[in-house]
Structure 1
């Protein structure tokens, strides 16, 4: 393994953006002063949004990309999808003298592609994001495999579940994993400032009528919720208190918007607009939305809370360059510029 890389104070760190989606992680790392040198995203609609905002079309399916063609970089960033890991049958494979363990168990999974590129390119650091359930999936065995496999490549491994609701007005818990090839580096997840964001801060002033629920859909949602209430279940729509935060925005929001509904005086509640969804994830209003409402809802539901990623990205950059406060970081706009106005 090559010696650990050292960085001069004026050197700009580089990163790659895997499973890039619409570029939320990229936006945050660029705000932290780093430079993106490669991106990959297979979904054609997400590619369209990414290209509209960053001026480049991401490479397609990561499984078809030879690591040799990826430029050298310092930080691997990936919000990889979590697919089930098969653990069963190790004893049987041992008895048959067949491959087993990590390499065998994860063939075909998308995390394996992250590991493949780490192994080939040996970056100085990695930054991974996933749903918080990853830590408990398959009674913790999936996460244990991920952690051990990265450590086996010679990296440290730090992780933490963090809720973005101090920065954006939604309950959004995610697990973040950070590690360094220099195992003498200690990484501390930073404290998250509480901006006390409220839903009312991300709402548009003039919303088209098409976002108001029809009588048919509103009656259906109310009846559905009542049916489950009688059964003692918690299923139902989420009518938002606009002075607080809301439920997690999901990729299924396009179906009926039921998890986050905005009350309206004298008429049925409405769903969020795509721009409001962008703001809910901390995207600036300059972020272009060149796709249909349906695709936009999916994209923002699958995305990251940008202000939270920015804080973590700054700490990763600072950890690699402890003596360097880059001009880009020093002059960056406050976090409230990410679509969430400061509380009065």
Structure 2
């Protein structure tokens, strides 16, 4: 997984250092102003918590393998004291453990001298995918003591619609086998009988947007299946997944289909992130201009 992820980044952006965050000494990281990242969402997501509970496993911060990576981010923050922090996670982060998880996160960041702004935004306003995520922006009070931040308004129109993501002449290997299609239909019927909504999701030419693309998409594609005439439905192709997340058409995908599905499922809505980053830069520039003019004005 680590090698393939590094391959994808290298193919598009050149050589980078890729390693386990737990193994990176903070002092070896070059100085920086903006920390941008996200700690694993599975310990906090609705589906992830449900699965871990059913298996008798710990979730949230008690998940030693994934949940504690937030504290590794704090370790980097403690050493470098970045001016701005930009974090992303699942919507359920705020409600996980009756809100206690969110209280811990806010408290840890506030104790380090950061003003915190957060908002849950649905990616469907940018691209045809229902993808609600929480975005957390923090400003170091040592540099921005009274800065106020507002998240950008979503565009009035999506960058493109669902029908625009589909490739032509899709290989038959993406069409579900009779066995898998029968299993998914039966699973949905069983879930319906139990009174829950678990089961596959299917899109057609009338659909406005898809369900959330997840890292488990490689398993059966069940959350987003594409209807086909006189055939079983099919998975999205890796290129269609890239498009659904907002990656450009010339983005190189040098890994296997399964790895691509995992990586795009774990990714973010690119134009939404770009909008937030642009808003951060605009806010900081305006603050610095205001501060400079104020300090330059004679008493």
TM-score range, shorter chain: 0.7 to 0.9
Which residue of the other structure, out of 259, 262, 276, is the alignment partner of 1:298? 262
> Is contact 1:48–1:57 with CA below 8 Å preserved after alignment?
no
Give the distance between the partners of 2:211 and 2:42, measured in 1 at CA.
24
Give the distance between the partners of 2:164 and 2:42, measured in 1 at CA.
36
Q: CA deviation at 1:220?
A: 1.6
Give the distance between the partners of 1:275 and 1:83, measured in 2 at CA.
24
With normalisation by structure 1, the TM-score equals 0.73
* Greater displacement, 169-178 / 231-240: 231-240
With normalisation by structure 2, the TM-score equals 0.83
Give the distance between the partners of 2:78 and 2:104, measured in 1 at CA.
16
Is 1:190 aligned to 2:152, yes or no? Answer: yes
> Is contact 1:228–1:234 with CA below 8 Å preserved after alignment?
yes
Q: CA deviation at 1:82?
A: 4.4
Q: Could you give the per-residue CA deviations for residues 260-318 of structure 1, whole angstroms, max 9, x where no partner exists?
A: 01111121111000000000000001111100000000000000110110100100111
Q: How does 1:51-130 map to 2 (within 5 A)?
A: 51-82=10-41, 109-130=68-89
Q: Could you give the per-residue CA deviations for residues 130-188 of structure 1, whole angstroms, max 9, x where no partner exists?
A: 01111111111111111111111111000011000011111100000001112311110
List 4+ stretches of structure 1 deviating above 4 A: 82-85, 105-108
Higher RCO (CA-CA < 8 Å; seq separation 6+) = 1
Give the distance between the partners of 2:279 and 2:65, measured in 1 at CA.
30
* Equivalence for 2:58: none
Q: CA deviation at 1:235?
A: 1.7
SS at match of 1:264: coil
SS at match of 2:242: helix
* Equivalence for 2:184: 221
Which residue of the other structure, out of 235, 255, 262, is the alignment partner of 2:226? 262
Q: 1:230 to 1:127 in 2, by over 3 A?
A: same
SS at match of 1:322: helix
* Equivalence for 2:172: 209
Give the distance between the partners of 1:146 and 1:232, measured in 2 at CA.
35
SS at match of 1:204: coil
Q: Could you give the per-residue CA deviations for residues 57-94 of structure 1, whole angstroms, max 9, x where no partner exists?
A: 33301122121121111110011114769xxxxxxxxx
* Cα-Cα RMSD: 2.2
Is 1:43 aligned to 2:30, yes or no? Answer: no
* Equivalence for 1:275: 239
> Is contact 1:155–1:183 with CA below 8 Å preserved after alignment?
no
Give the distance between the partners of 1:282 and 1:276, measured in 2 at CA.
10
Give the distance between the partners of 1:56 and 1:237, measured in 2 at CA.
39
* Equivalence for 2:52: none
Q: CA deviation at 1:201?
A: 1.1
Q: CA deviation at 1:113?
A: 1.3
